[in-house]
């Protein structure tokens, strides 16, 4: 106990020696839950408000996009992620994820849809994927979207609050990462296309609620993070057909403090490359490759909803070697993106979208609290 107290004091002292000096400016104010945003080729911004609004912010003016599909905004559901097709300048496709019913069954589930902008109207709408069945539970929609270098679309759908049924069953939606052609067709090399009764779009399974995802172009890898329950948030690198263990293996416990599993690792399932105890409630995820941010360069940035700060993970050889806590108490960090010049922008609930001012002085990274030291694997 004495050694732990001494270590805690040393960590706090180091943080005092190297205070957080990141500066930022508010670019778009007055947003409630900016779940996601994306930069257009002209550097204007499309912003999703979870309550069901899509905002086009250009030259200081914000316009609401009309003719959106029916979006059911309740609790964790609503209008969620947004992404441009990699060849947007040629085809003008925009992709969104949202919670919808889309049929006569009660409840909602995650839907992926693409459309084209015609002025301030969403036209040429095509549903790429609709998870079924609907659920009356209004949580764990997942919903992050990325494209890889071959223009496959990857997206997450959370376990929808049904951990004992959905994540480990490949015949059911929920608790999965999916992979499709950009028009919704099933790739013939998806891992479960030949499995009877399987959801052919599934790329990996055994996930809880992935709300952060980015594509590493240099390594051709998909990185995600996902919410644990009480503890056990994870970072994973996604590979075809892998089972990531939820809920059979986890570092988390139930919110009431009881255990749902005694296992943190199971043979044949993939362990996380990193986890957090206690949970930081992660959201949003980018990789920084910009020397104008010397203390952030070659790092992953992740928002913390629970502790309301920006979390930095320094990456070396595919492993997290150091962490840092930035913009402490700024608010619930929901989304993080880069513009065409790789400047860093952050969506903060009830604040708006901020831009980090490029740095001039490099400071060493320090361990972050509260993160379990045993969490580095």
pLDDT cut 70: percent of the chain above it? 90
pLDDT tens-place string over residues 131-178: 999 999 999 999 999 999 999 999 999 999 999 999 999 999 999 999
Confidence band, pLDDT 50/70/90 cuts, at residue 360 = low
Confidence band, pLDDT 50/70/90 cuts, at residue 102 = confident
Weakest-pLDDT range from 10-14, 23-27, 249-253: 10-14
Question: Is pLDDT larger for residue 280 or for residue 376?
Answer: 280
**DSSP character string of 222-254:** EEEEE--SBS-EEEEEE-TT-B--TTTS-S-B-
The tokens for 311 are 């979390």
9 has pLDDT over 60: no
Peptide bond into 302 cis (omega under 30): no
**What average pLDDT does the chain have?**
91
Catalytic residues: 140
The count of structural domains within the chain is 1
Query: What average pLDDT does this structure show over 76-80?
Result: 98
Confidence band, pLDDT 50/70/90 cuts, at residue 103 = confident
Describe the strand order of the beta sheet including 53-58 as a list of residue ranges: 34-39, 45-49, 53-58, 61-64
pLDDT tens-place string over residues 20-39: 579 999 999 999 999 999 99
Confidence band, pLDDT 50/70/90 cuts, at residue 330 = very high
**DSSP character string of 330-361:** S--EEEEEE-TT--EEEEETTTEEEEEPPPSS
316 has pLDDT over 60: yes
Cβ count near 362 (within 10 Å): 11
Q: Check residue 312 and give its pLDDT.
A: 98
Query: What average pLDDT does this structure show over 240-254?
Result: 98
pLDDT tens-place string over residues 263-279: 999 999 999 999 999 99
CATH code (residue 198)? 2.120.10.30
240 has pLDDT over 70: yes
Q: What is the pTM of this model?
A: 0.91
Domain residue limits at 36: 2-375
């Amino acid at each position: 106990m004495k050694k732990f107290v001494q270590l805690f004091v040393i960590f706090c002292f180091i943080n005092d020696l190297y205070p957080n000096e990141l500066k930022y400016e508010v670019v778009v104010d007055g947003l409630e839950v900016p779940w996601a945003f994306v930069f257009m080729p002209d550097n204007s911004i499309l912003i999703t408000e979870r309550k069901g609004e899509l905002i086009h912010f250009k030259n200081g003016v914000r316009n609401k996009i009309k003719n959106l599909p029916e979006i059911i905004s309740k609790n964790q559901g609503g209008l969620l992620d947004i992404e441009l097709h990699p060849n947007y300048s040629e085809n003008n496709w925009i992709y969104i994820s949202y919670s919808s019913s889309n049929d006569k069954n009660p409840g909602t589930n995650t839907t992926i849809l693409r459309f084209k902008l015609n002025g301030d109207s969403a036209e040429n709408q095509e549903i790429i994927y609709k998870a079924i069945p609907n659920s009356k539970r209004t949580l764990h929609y997942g919903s992050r979207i990325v494209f890889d270098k071959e223009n496959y679309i990857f997206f997450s759908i959370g376990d929808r609050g049904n951990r004992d049924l959905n994540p480990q069953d490949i015949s059911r939606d929920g608790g999965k990462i999916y992979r499709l052609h950009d028009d919704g067709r099933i790739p013939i090399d998806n891992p479960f296309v030949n499995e009877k009764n399987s959801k052919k779009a599934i790329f990996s399974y055994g996930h809880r609620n992935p709300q952060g995802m980015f594509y590493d172009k240099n390594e051709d890898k998909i990185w995600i993070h996902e919410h644990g329950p009480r503890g056990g948030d994870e970072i994973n690198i996604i590979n075809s057909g892998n089972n990531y263990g939820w809920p059979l293996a986890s570092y988390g416990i139930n919110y009431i403090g009881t255990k749902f599993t005694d296992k943190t690792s199971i043979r044949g399932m993939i362990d996380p490359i990193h986890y957090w105890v206690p949970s930081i409630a992660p959201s949003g995820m980018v990789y920084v490759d910009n020397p104008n941010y010397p203390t952030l360069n070659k790092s992953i940035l992740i928002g913390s909803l629970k502790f309301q700060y920006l979390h930095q993970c320094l990456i070396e050889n595919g492993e997290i070697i150091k962490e840092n806590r930035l913009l402490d108490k700024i608010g619930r960090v929901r989304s993080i993106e880069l513009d065409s010049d790789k400047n860093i922008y952050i969506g903060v609930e009830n604040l708006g979208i901020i831009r980090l001012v490029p740095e001039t002085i490099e400071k060493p990274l320090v361990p972050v609290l509260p993160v379990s030291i045993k969490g580095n694997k």
